[in-house]
């Protein structure tokens, strides 16, 4: 799975599928559930840490196969495998505002809905009107935004057993030039503050109430700490980067060490934002 995650780590999946159409995605769901095979759904693999022992069962990737993107008035219909950057550009070209703050987030629409991705006070859940999902029964259902229970870096998609096929975003009319400028500004800010040139999974920890995870990790002296080929970024302490040959065990060791120091020094329990997938992961 190292080839299918932004971290560049992870063992083999028992079965790996890349459906190229919505119909193929539905067929995959039905077949895997009929076979009672454990299944993990990924987009571009940007917010996950896959175990060195791999994944027992199937991994289904919506990226790059599910690629539909259509603009109609103030609405944008986006398939699960579409990168958020492409959505930002398409919306800006159409003079639609709302996605600018998420410029530079490397994941897909499906992954963004799963964790309610966002930046600078805006989340994807704020923009979703409805979504088409495949349910546990193998049938396609249309659900409203309020049925997905969006919260801080969370939704109920996993709990409900819903796999996103596509979603409709409701955006606001704006000036094309100004929307592009705002999106570019957000992208510049992200590049200046985050280690975007290094393999990572994005932010490692969720924001603690009233504070920032990166500030805490830096304050406890963990910034720049290295285990094997993994390092807590010297540019932004809420990122762990693969500096070469990192394993999932290396990354997990850094996560646990940062958590330990934060709790011992400040009594803060840092909660991982990154999703841990595969065999052998225990509680940190």
147-199 per-position pLDDT tens digit:
999 999 999 999 999 999 999 999 999 999 999 999 999 999 999 999 999 99
Residues 79 and 179 in one domain: yes
Tell me, yes or no, whether 264 and 169 share the same domain: no
Query: Per the domain annotation, does 207 fall within a domain?
Result: no
pLDDT digits (tens, 9 = 90+) for 248-271: 999 999 999 999 999 999 999 999
- Assess whether 181 and 226 both reside in one domain: no
In a domain, 200, yes or no: no
Is there a domain that residue 269 lies in? yes
Same domain, 88 and 181: yes
The yes-or-no answer on residue 86 being catalytic is no
Q: Which of 18, 100, 231, 273 is catalytic?
A: 273
* pLDDT for residue 282: 55
Within this chain, do residues 31 and 83 fall inside the same structural domain, yes or no? no
Task: Please write the tens of the pLDDT for every residue from 13-64.
Answer: 999 999 999 999 999 989 999 999 999 999 999 999 999 999 999 999 999 9
For the chain, the domain total comes to 3
Shared domain for 146 and 259, answered yes or no, is no
Range of the domain at 176: 69-193
Q: pLDDT tens digits, residue range 197-215?
A: 999 999 999 999 999 999 9
Q: Are residues 232 and 188 in the same domain?
A: no
93 and 161 co-located in one domain? yes
| Within a domain: 123 | yes
Among the listed residues 51, 74, 203, 233, the single catalytic one is 203
Question: Which of 39, 61, 83 is at the close of a domain?
Answer: 61
Catalytic residue among 153, 198, 219, 260: 153
Is 245 part of any domain?
A: yes
In a domain, 204, yes or no: no
Q: Domain check: are 140 and 236 in the same one?
A: no
Kindly state the DSSP code that residue 196 receives in the 8-state scheme: T
Is position 203 annotated as part of the catalytic site? Answer: yes
Q: Return the CATH number at 30.
A: 3.30.43.10
Q: Is 144 a catalytic residue?
A: no
Same domain, 51 and 79: no
Q: Is the pTM of this model over 0.85?
A: yes
- 48 and 74 part of one domain: no
């Amino acid at each position: 799975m190292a080839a299918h995650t932004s971290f560049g780590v992870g063992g083999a999946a028992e079965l790996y599928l890349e459906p190229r159409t919505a119909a193929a995605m539905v067929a995959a769901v039905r077949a895997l559930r009929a076979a009672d095979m454990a299944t993990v759904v990924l987009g571009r693999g940007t917010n996950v840490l896959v175990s060195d022992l791999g994944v027992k069962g199937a991994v289904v990737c919506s990226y790059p196969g599910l690629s539909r993107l259509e603009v109609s008035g103030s609405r944008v219909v986006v398939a699960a495998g579409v990168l958020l950057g492409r959505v930002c550009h398409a919306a800006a070209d159409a003079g639609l505002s709302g996605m600018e703050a998420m410029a530079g987030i490397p994941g897909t629409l499906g992954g963004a809905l799963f964790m309610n991705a966002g930046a600078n006070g805006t989340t994807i859940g704020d923009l979703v009107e409805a979504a088409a999902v495949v349910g546990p029964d193998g049938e396609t259902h249309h659900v409203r935004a309020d049925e997905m229970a969006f919260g801080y870096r969370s939704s109920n998609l996993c709990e409900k057993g819903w796999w996103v096929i596509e979603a409709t975003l409701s955006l606001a009319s704006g000036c094309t030039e100004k929307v592009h400028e705002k999106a570019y500004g957000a992208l510049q800010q992200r590049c200046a503050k985050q280690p975007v040139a290094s393999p990572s999974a994005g932010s490692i920890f969720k924001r603690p109430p009233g504070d920032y995870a990166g500030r805490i990790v830096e304050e406890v002296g963990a910034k720049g700490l290295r285990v094997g080929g993994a390092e807590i970024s010297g540019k932004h302490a809420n990122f762990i980067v693969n500096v070469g040959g990192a394993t999932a065990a290396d990354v997990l060791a850094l996560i646990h060490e940062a958590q330990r120091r934060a709790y011992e020094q400040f009594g803060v329990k840092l909660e991982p934002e990154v999703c841990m997938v595969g065999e052998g992961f225990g509680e940190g």
